[in-house]
Amino acid sequence: MSSGQESVFTEYETETSQTSKLLRKFKETPFVPIGMAGFATVVGYGLYKLKHRGDMKMSLHLIHMRVAAQGFVVGAITCGVLYSMFQEYVVKPKE
């Protein structure tokens, strides 16, 4: 009886692990992780360019990087919404 319970618990643990949750979320809404990766890329690029900004003020540089990061995330979310609408209203009605 204990071996049956162990298999249930291990199946539950593998089903709800962080990687499986992330993979499931990526399959359901692929543009959210893409937006997060783009945000991280823009932040990394901004930190790199921070050393070579020349005579540009720090506040102006940070405002530009914030706008670029937000624009990428909003663009990725917009693409995700359009993709889900396409899947729901164009692909599904063929049933």
pLDDT over threshold 70, residue 47: yes
The mean pLDDT value for 18-34 works out to: 79
36 vs 24: CA distance, rounded Å:
16
- In the chain, where does DSSP find H-type helix? 2-15, 18-28, 31-50, 58-86
- The sign of the dihedral angle between the CA atoms of 81, 83, 85, 87 is negative
Flag whether the pTM goes above 0.75.
no
Give the model confidence (pLDDT) of 57-72 as tens digits.
Answer: 888 988 988 998 888 8
